[in-house]
Amino acid sequence: MKINRNIIHYIWPVASVLMTAILLLILIGVDLGSAFSGFFRGMFGNIYQISEVLVKTTPLLLAGLGCSIGFQCGFINLGAEGQLYMGALASSVVAIFLGHLPHLLLIPLMMVCGFLAGGLWALIPGVMKAKFGLSEVIMSLMFNYIAIQFIALAIRTWLKDPEYPFPMSQPFTESAQLPRLVPRTRLHIGFIIAIVLAALVYIFLWKTARGFQIRACGCNPRASFCVGVNVNLNIILSSLLSGGLAGFAGFVEVSGVQHKLMDGISSNYGYLAVMVSLLGSNHPLGVAIAALLLGALDIGGLSMQRSAGVPTSLTTVILGMIVIVFLLRHHFGKKEKEISHE
């Protein structure tokens, strides 16, 4: 009986997402077989497809980790997109103006600047929340627009490559580019760095006193304050780290994939990061799995479009469905747990 219920608990979310997908595919009027084979071959078909999934996973993982640190402290950071752009801008400025520096000096410098730019961008709503109690939700969200348009402005004016008519920066020099992991793919070393950072975030949040404090503040700020914790300091620190990781994702995108700054360097990674963090229950391991899932969905959807003519907006619908099902499952799971403990 109990096992049965557990199985149902895992089956119904998957089944309902799958049913929705099938229903939509039928409505679109494509051949189910070719759609699914296109979808899965897109993800795992060959080494290049797999590498593309991981290329997508990398910024999702980094920005998702950023969101999760904020969420763990009760700092609802919806501004990862803007922080990612600011990180990308700072890294690009370093890459373009100090492009002559040696690789081993330039890359770390770009990393630090990307991290700091994203962090400082998130710090503004963080300080506003801590000092004046303003809503970080609205503030961080609005800061996205400012950041995105600021970059748009930069690449049309002072950062514009005079050689080209398009709004983009000069291409980075060789020494400003992250090395490739696998030849003839776009998979770069940023993926490894992201995995390492996920492990570091785990150690920080779960093993250190400071990390514990951040989680305690997110869990019950009033109780934390009453035992003497400086809640505001933790909010500010978590906003800095949260934005920093999103900014790092921006660095990884320009240095690892694009090799220049331009419009749309992020395919909504900053917004998807909120979902990644949510699906991963704000835990680094969960975040990593969720980032991989979303990356795979994206690549699979593209391939399905190529092979079966299914519009990629289907993937967006599926993604929305996954989040809803996840929240429902979480809700019911909680209820059941409470009842069984009473």
Site residues for other proteins per CB under 8 A: 207-210, 212-213, 216, 219-220, 222-228, 341
Length of the chain: 342
Q: State in angstroms the smallest separation of the CB of 213 from other proteins.
A: 6
Encoded tokens for 274: 């909120």
Amino acid at 174: E
Q: State in angstroms the smallest separation of the CB of 74 from other proteins.
A: 12
Site of tokens 């980094």: 62
Angle of the 313-341 helix axis to the 2-28 helix axis, nearest 10: 160
Residue 323, SS3? helix
Q: Tell me the backbone φ, ψ of residue 196, rounded to 5 degrees.
A: -60, -45
Residue 106 or 237 having the CB closest to other proteins: 237
Residue 241 or 304 having the CB closest to other proteins: 241
Residue 1 or 227 having the CB closest to other proteins: 227
Amino acid at 131: K
Gap between the Cα atoms of 25 and 59, Å rounded = 29
Question: Sign of the CA dihedral 138, 129, 278, 39?
Answer: positive
Residue 23 or 203 having the CB closest to other proteins: 203
- ∠ CA 229-117-56, rounded to 5°: 100
**Bridge-partner residues for 69, per DSSP?**
none
Residue 166 or 206 having the CB closest to other proteins: 206
Angle of the 209-219 helix axis to the 47-72 helix axis, nearest 10: 70
Residue 92 or 234 having the CB closest to other proteins: 234
